[in-house]
Amino acid sequence: MLNYILRRLGYGLLVLAGVNLLTFFLFFTVNTPDDMARLNIGGKRVSQEQIDKWKAERGYDKPLYWNARADGGGRLTETIFWQRSVSLLRLDFGRSDAKQSSDIGHEIRTRMGVSLQLAVPIFVLQLIASTAFALVLVFFRATRIDFWGVVLCVVMLSISSLFYIIVGQYFFSRVLKLVPISGYAGGLDAVKFLVLPVALSLLSRLGTEARLYRAMFLEEIGRDYVRTARAKGLSETVVLGRHVLRNALIPILTSAGSYLPYVFLGSLVFESFFGIPGLGAYVIDAIAGQDFAIVRSMVFLGSVLYVLSYLLIDIAYTVVDPRVRLA
């Protein structure tokens, strides 16, 4: 397994290097440093002096790839590419392009904790609720409960998450006044601000996940080992819980694992609508403010999390199914 993990990490580094090069090329070819300066300074009339000052303050006054005026290794390191792209491989995110010029690394570390407070409960509860709901539908398969459960899943997955947010905020916050409509507080006070977004996110994804897991369970039910278990006199509850669920864990892990990066990166929609200062809201603010340094950093961080997530999923396969060997 160690050789497999090392090989996958090597592939991951190549992927990260490719993503890094591609994003740098796109950001600095489509938008030159002068264009970035104009977008960030704003206003109809921006002088060249203002542009040069903005570039000098943020290190964009250097050559892109090769600094012929520098000596030795400085010809390579004293460039925008090295300081704004290669540095990401060391997880050195630098400073933002905004007027405040904040430390991106510090913001990521601070905001990731907030995003985890929202995303971890969503991830765990979503997995439990979707799996349980799908098992209930399979237990009552070919009955009215199964039929109307599938209809409910289709209706739920057909509704946009924005609808759940707007209706939920109006009903639970404005009408019933059970929870704050938006905002965030630290410590235990965060619970009252996170209850509503967690519940609405769970509801918005329940139909999609439950219908998918139901299809996985129905496929497993037709296997020979299920007929053998029934022939031994095991009850349907035991067959579903002990055999079908266990053998369907691999596709469930694959499906649920694809959500892992969002556990760390946060939800763009929910954090923005509920005023939660996590990484999702950080990305939205950066896009709105044309802060390309933050956007590049978050794209790279997302790639890192995806590479690590799928490596963890592969390792988890060997835990839930001893027959799987990573070679």
What CATH number is associated with residue 304? 1.10.3720.10
162 and 228 co-located in one domain: yes
What does the pLDDT look like over 263-291, one tens digit per residue? 777 788 888 889 899 888 888 888 887 78
pLDDT above 80: residue 222: yes
Q: Which of 56, 90, 124 is the last residue of a domain?
A: 90
113 and 188 co-located in one domain: yes
pLDDT above 90: residue 147: yes
pLDDT for 255: 83
Alpha helices in the chain (DSSP H): 2-30, 33-41, 48-58, 74-77, 80-84, 104-139, 144-158, 161-168, 190-221, 224-231, 236-238, 245-247, 249-257, 260-265, 268-273, 279-288, 292-320
Mean pLDDT, residues 62-90: 83
pLDDT for 172: 93
119 and 252 co-located in one domain: yes
Tell me the HSE value of 196 on the side-chain side, using a 13 A CA sphere.
28
Mean pLDDT, residues 119-145: 92
Question: How many whole angstroms separate alpha carbon 116 and alpha carbon 123?
Answer: 10
Confidence of residue 217 (pLDDT cuts 50, 70, 90): very high
DSSP string, 231-252: HTT--HHHIIIIIIHHHTHHHH
57 and 122 co-located in one domain: no
Mean pLDDT, residues 4-20: 87
pLDDT above 80: residue 232: yes
pLDDT above 90: residue 94: no
281 and 210 co-located in one domain: yes
SS3 of residue 286 by DSSP? helix
Structural domain boundaries enclosing 222: 104-320
The answer to the question of residue 240 being in a domain is yes
The answer to the question of residue 215 being in a domain is yes
Residue length, the chain?
327
Q: Which of 62, 90, 118 is the last residue of a domain?
A: 90
* pTM for the structure as a whole: 0.81
- Count: domains in the chain: 2
Question: How many whole angstroms separate alpha carbon 138 and alpha carbon 212?
Answer: 12
% of the chain with per-residue pLDDT over 70: 98
pLDDT for 312: 86
pLDDT above 80: residue 1: no
DSSP string, 57-123: HHTTTS-SS--TTS-TTHHHHSSHHHHHTGGGGGT---B-SSTT--BHHHHHHHHHHHHHHHHHHHH
Judge contact between 179 and 172, C-beta under 8 A. yes
165 and 255 co-located in one domain: yes
Question: How many whole angstroms separate alpha carbon 65 and alpha carbon 315?
Answer: 39
What does the pLDDT look like over 13-51, one tens digit per residue? 898 888 888 888 888 877 778 888 887 777 667 788 888
Q: Which of 3, 271, 237 is nearest to 116 (CA)?
A: 271
Give residue for tokens 């998918």. 212
103 bridge partner residues: 95
Question: How many whole angstroms separate alpha carbon 174 and alpha carbon 92?
Answer: 43
Between 190-221 and 249-257, two packed helices, what is the crossing angle to 10 degrees? 140
Confidence of residue 69 (pLDDT cuts 50, 70, 90): confident
pLDDT for 250: 84
b/e sequence 124-153, b meaning 16+ C-beta within 10 Å = eebbebbbebbbebbbeeeeeebeebbebb
First to last CA, the chain: 6
Confidence of residue 327 (pLDDT cuts 50, 70, 90): low
The answer to the question of residue 249 being in a domain is yes
Q: Which of 61, 63, 37, 76 is nearest to 292 (CA)?
A: 37
Confidence of residue 210 (pLDDT cuts 50, 70, 90): very high
Judge contact between 236 and 139, C-beta under 8 A. yes
What does the pLDDT look like over 152-188, one tens digit per residue? 999 998 998 889 999 999 999 999 999 999 889 888 8
Q: Which of 67, 90, 113 is the last residue of a domain?
A: 90
pLDDT for 43: 63
pLDDT for 44: 66
